[in-house]
């Protein structure tokens, strides 16, 4: 990281964010967005309810640290195996994350589909699920690779399903029911 990155990180860590606003550090840029709407929250709740708590931590509003990235994104949902991270702290190392979930909003689509896809693949986070209530679809990305021919990290496998169709999340040992996912 550069001196500028260090300064931005320092500002971010001391930033006082108003209630109802989400702040993330994405590739050296502080991104602030309005809090999520009800459809977003219901989708996250529906996913959390299906992931077995006995084996997995299902964390919302959790910052994730990426090696070699000036960023600390806050996925809408982070799933980590119990015991993968010990002790207190604000940041979970990206390699400890099993699944990252982002629910797309009108203002986050580019970041969720492109910027965070690259970051999460480079993490490497084994499973990235993009839930898009605007399009009524989910994009399941698995098998991260360090870089493509263009030098950008990405996922080998991409599967798009429409809301209502089940999504096998083999890493978690479940099939996700998307029948209750609402649209915008």
Q: Which fold has domain 36-176?
A: tt1808, chain A (3.90.1570)
SS3 50: helix
Provide the whole-model pTM.
0.87
CA–CA dist 65, 69 (Å, integer): 8
pLDDT in tens, 72-97: 999 999 999 999 998 788 899 999 99
CA–CA dist 42, 40 (Å, integer): 6
Q: What is the mean pLDDT of the segment spanning 48-70?
A: 93
Q: Is the pLDDT of residue 4 over 70?
A: no
The per-residue pLDDT for 5 is 60
Length of the chain: 184
Q: What is the mean pLDDT of the segment spanning 42-51?
A: 98
CA–CA dist 24, 15 (Å, integer): 10
Query: Which contiguous run of DSSP H or E holds residue 74?
Result: none
Instruction: Sketch the domain layout of the chain as residue ranges.
Output: 36-176
SS3 9: helix
Q: Are 145 and 120 in contact (CB under 8 A)?
A: no
Query: Which contiguous run of DSSP H or E holds residue 119?
Result: helix 116-122
Q: Is the pLDDT of residue 164 over 90?
A: yes
């Amino acid at each position: 990281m550069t001196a500028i990155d260090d300064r931005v990180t320092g500002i971010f860590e001391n930033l006082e964010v108003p209630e109802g606003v989400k702040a993330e550090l994405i590739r050296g840029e502080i991104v602030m967005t309005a809090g999520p709407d009800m459809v977003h929250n219901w989708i996250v709740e529906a996913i959390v309810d299906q992931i077995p708590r006995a084996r997995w931590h299902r964390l919302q509003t959790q910052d994730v640290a990426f090696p070699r990235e000036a960023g600390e994104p806050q996925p809408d949902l982070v799933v980590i195996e119990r015991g993968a991270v010990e002790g207190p702290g604000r940041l979970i190392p990206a390699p400890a994350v099993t699944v990252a979930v982002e629910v797309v909003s009108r203002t986050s689509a580019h970041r969720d589909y492109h910027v965070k896809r690259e970051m999460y693949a480079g993490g490497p986070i084994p499973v990235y699920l993009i839930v898009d209530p605007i399009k009524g679809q989910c994009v399941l990305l698995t098998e991260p690779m360090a870089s493509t021919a263009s030098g950008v990290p990405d996922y080998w496998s991409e599967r798009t399903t429409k809301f209502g169709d089940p999504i096998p999340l083999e890493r978690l040992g479940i099939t996700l029911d998307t029948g209750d996912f609402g649209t915008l």
